[in-house]
């Protein structure tokens, strides 16, 4: 989930003061491993969705419900209940972010059904560039020359990664379903950018508390869906759906946020691409769906562009 990574960047900037600590190197090393572990977990999300074989709205409700249970258990074990008590603008931001997160997850699953796990995950990672553009438009943030070049490179990488260039060169057409999938993934990226802006402007809300509120809002808003459209049959589907919430929402968020608290924002910008890279690799290993050479080149271009934008923003925030 790209918006969550952006929220983590603001937390990561606080960790730059750790350099003077005698155990700073070990702390950063553990942070890197935690972020890699979290990214690898998220990379298997699409497999759980496909194996569950349920509609996107059913999958989103289960993700919210089991994610809520897992995060609640974490807050109970760590005795951090105070983080969940919000009021005023903080509560409004959390609820708004929750509604937007639910819409994003629905778009996420709908896009995967029409394209592929890897393509959809890579396409949505234009989100950091949208955040940069929105920041320049609304808050008059300056875009450096390096960021401008990186944005242009990202657009080229996106055209390659999505398969658009392959199709144009070979004369191959796309089904309307595939085009809809790409469109939903791009719309999903816009939604994540908006979610990031809400999260970055929210005061007094920790990242994990925001994740808890997102799951809580989703579980309440969509609770009617399985009652109206039916519950999944007893068996493996329930285990796959439970994994979407417990592993890819609850556990992954805890691990990622623990890792980012130990790292500088520049390192977070690099490591957040573990998620889409692992999604591509897992899809190839499990289903044999490999990206073409030009698509892989596009993924690499997007990775380099993302690193440039992330490190530039980190340097300006330091």
- Looking at the structure of the chain, the number of domains it has is 1
Is 262 a member of any domain? yes
- 312, pLDDT greater than 90: no
pLDDT in tens, 11-28: 444 444 444 455 777 888
Is 230 a member of any domain? yes
Count of CB atoms within 10 A of residue 142's CB?
8
- pLDDT number for residue 284: 86
Is 21 a member of any domain? no
Is 233 a member of any domain? yes
Is 185 a member of any domain? yes
Token pair recorded at residue 288: 């044999």
- 167, pLDDT greater than 70: no
Task: For the chain, give the mean pLDDT.
Answer: 80
Domain that holds residue 184: 2-15+27-317
Contacts of 111 (CB under 8 A, 6+ apart): 120, 123, 124, 181, 182, 184, 185, 188
Is 121 a member of any domain? yes
H-helix or E-strand spanning residue 89 = helix 88-114
- 266, pLDDT greater than 80: no
Residue range 232-238: average pLDDT? 92
- Reduced to 3 states (helix: H, G, I; strand: E, B; else coil), residue 236 is helix
**Angstrom distance (rounded) from CA 292 to CA 283:** 13
Is 22 a member of any domain? no
- pLDDT number for residue 316: 59
Is 20 a member of any domain? no
């Amino acid at each position: 989930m790209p918006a969550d990574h952006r929220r983590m960047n603001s937390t990561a900037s606080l960790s730059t003061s750790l350099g003077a600590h005698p155990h700073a190197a070990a702390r950063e090393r553990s942070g890197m491993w935690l972020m890699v572990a979290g990214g690898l977990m998220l990379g298997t999300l699409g497999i759980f969705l496909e194996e569950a074989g349920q509609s996107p709205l059913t999958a989103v409700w289960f993700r919210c419900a089991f994610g809520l249970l897992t995060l609640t258990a974490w807050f109970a074990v760590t005795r951090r209940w105070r983080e969940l008590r919000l009021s005023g603008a903080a509560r409004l931001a959390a609820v708004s972010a929750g509604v937007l997160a639910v819409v994003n997850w629905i778009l996420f699953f709908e896009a995967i059904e029409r394209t592929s796990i890897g393509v959809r995950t890579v396409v949505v990672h234009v989100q950091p560039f949208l955040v940069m553009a929105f920041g320049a438009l609304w808050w008059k943030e300056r875009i450096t020359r390096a960021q401008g070049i990186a944005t242009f490179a990202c657009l080229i990488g996106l055209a390659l990664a999505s398969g658009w260039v392959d199709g144009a060169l070979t004369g191959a057409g796309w089904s309307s379903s595939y085009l809809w999938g790409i469109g939903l993934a791009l719309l999903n990226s816009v939604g994540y950018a908006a979610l990031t802006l809400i999260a970055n402007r929210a005061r007094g809300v920790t990242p994990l508390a925001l994740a808890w509120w997102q799951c809580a809002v989703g579980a309440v808003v969509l609770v009617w869906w399985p009652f109206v459209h039916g519950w999944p049959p007893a068996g493996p589907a329930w285990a796959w759906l439970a994994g979407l919430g417990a592993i890819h929402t609850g556990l992954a968020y805890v691990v990622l946020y623990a890792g980012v608290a130990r790292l500088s924002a520049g390192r977070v910008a690099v490591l957040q691409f573990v998620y889409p890279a692992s999604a591509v690799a897992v899809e190839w290993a499990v289903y044999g769906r490999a990206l073409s050479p030009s698509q892989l080149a596009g993924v690499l271009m997007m990775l380099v562009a993302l690193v440039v934008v992330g490190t530039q923003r980190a340097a300006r925030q330091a």
